[in-house]
Amino acid sequence: MKKYSICTIVLAACLLAGGCVSSPNSAAGFKPFVLENVIPFDQGNPQNPRFEISMSLADPAKPDSGIGNLIRELLYEGQSAADYGNAVAAKLGKLYAEIHGEWESLGERPMDSFNWHYTEKAEGRTVSVKGLIPGHEKLLVLAKTTESYLGGAHGNSSTSCFVVDPAAAKQLVLDDIFNDTEKLRLLLEAELRRQYGLPENAPLSEAGFFEDRVELPENFFLTEKDASSMYFLWNAYEIAPYVMGAIQISLPFRSLSPLFRK
């Protein structure tokens, strides 16, 4: 059976724009960008290894506005969803071609290591929240999630969340919302102990965490379904081993309200 050459795989990566679908339909100020592509390792046999790339990205309907520019900066490195998506896919396609070339030069290698996949999804939702920030009842929550297997022992996944004040076109961090982040950190540690069945003040390392002190996560978000709670997320490896996966907890506003900035 004839194998695809490195040049053929690189060409497939460069033609990823042909797999793009951009719809004019919009929801909540976004327009969708979708990319789906398969780069084969061998020609003709669908059972042979392949690299599947799938991207679903929400681009702001008004990209030249203050909020549109901020969304693109946070999610797409300042680019449009189409330019960003095609650049990521082309870069990964080139990497796949390079690994293919190494395999051919070395000879035998487990074929399963070439069944690659990469999925990226980015979306934005407007959440109605009362009592969180004075004068603001709606916030924009952006989330970007990637899941991939690019060879190696296991796949990887990661989520990035951004809470945005749409009126000011500003990303909010925990210091913008809370007047005492150390007390917030202690609340999070207490909730982690509760979730993992640890006694009060027990070392978190007893449940498998890397350290007994957990730092505040970069990722926090709110949801429309539960507008009276805030969610906090650590990705795999941030505070615990891979086997424990991503760690997510929520705290109700009633326990957080003494720490809200007035």
Distance CA 240, CA 48 (A): 36
Distance CA 187, CA 37 (A): 44
Q: How confident is the model at residue 100 (pLDDT cuts 50, 70, 90)?
A: confident
For the residues 86-97, what does the mean pLDDT come to?
Answer: 94
For the residues 107-130, what does the mean pLDDT come to?
Answer: 84
Identify the three-state secondary structure at position 115.
coil
- How big is the CA angle at 92 (ends 33 and 159), to the nearest 5 degrees? 60
Copy the structure tokens of residue 93.
């396609």
Q: Which residues contact 113 (CB under 8 A, 6 or more apart)?
A: 151, 152
Count the neighbouring beta carbons within 10 Å of the beta carbon of residue 116: 21
**Among 18-32, 108-122, 191-205, which stretch is predicted with the lowest mean pLDDT?**
18-32
For the residues 199-227, what does the mean pLDDT come to?
Answer: 93
Distance CA 66, CA 35 (A): 26
Residue 42, pLDDT score: 74
For the residues 129-154, what does the mean pLDDT come to?
Answer: 85
**Among 105-114, 140-149, 199-208, which stretch is predicted with the lowest mean pLDDT?**
105-114
- Residue 180 burial by Cβ neighbours in a 10 Å radius (0-12, 13-18, 19+): exposed
Q: How confident is the model at residue 2 (pLDDT cuts 50, 70, 90)?
A: very low
Asked whether 53 and 92 are in contact (CB, 8 A), the reply is yes
Residue 51, pLDDT score: 93
Domain with CATH 3.30.565.40 in the chain: 6-168
Residue 46, pLDDT score: 66
Residue 9, pLDDT score: 36
For the residues 15-35, what does the mean pLDDT come to?
Answer: 56
Q: Which residues contact 252 (CB under 8 A, 6 or more apart)?
A: 228, 229
For the residues 91-108, what does the mean pLDDT come to?
Answer: 81
Please tell us whether the domain made up of 174-259 is placed in CATH 3.90.640: yes
Domain with CATH 3.90.640 in the chain: 174-259
Count the neighbouring beta carbons within 10 Å of the beta carbon of residue 252: 11
Phi, psi (deg, nearest 5) at residue 103: -60, -45
Spell out the CATH class of 6-168. alpha beta
> Which has the closest alpha carbon to 84: 15, 17, 156?
17
Residue 62, pLDDT score: 92
Helix (H) / strand (E) containing 99: helix 81-106
Its pTM stands at 0.84
For the residues 96-119, what does the mean pLDDT come to?
Answer: 78
Q: How confident is the model at residue 230 (pLDDT cuts 50, 70, 90)?
A: very high
User: Maximum distance among all alpha carbons in the chain?
Assistant: 69
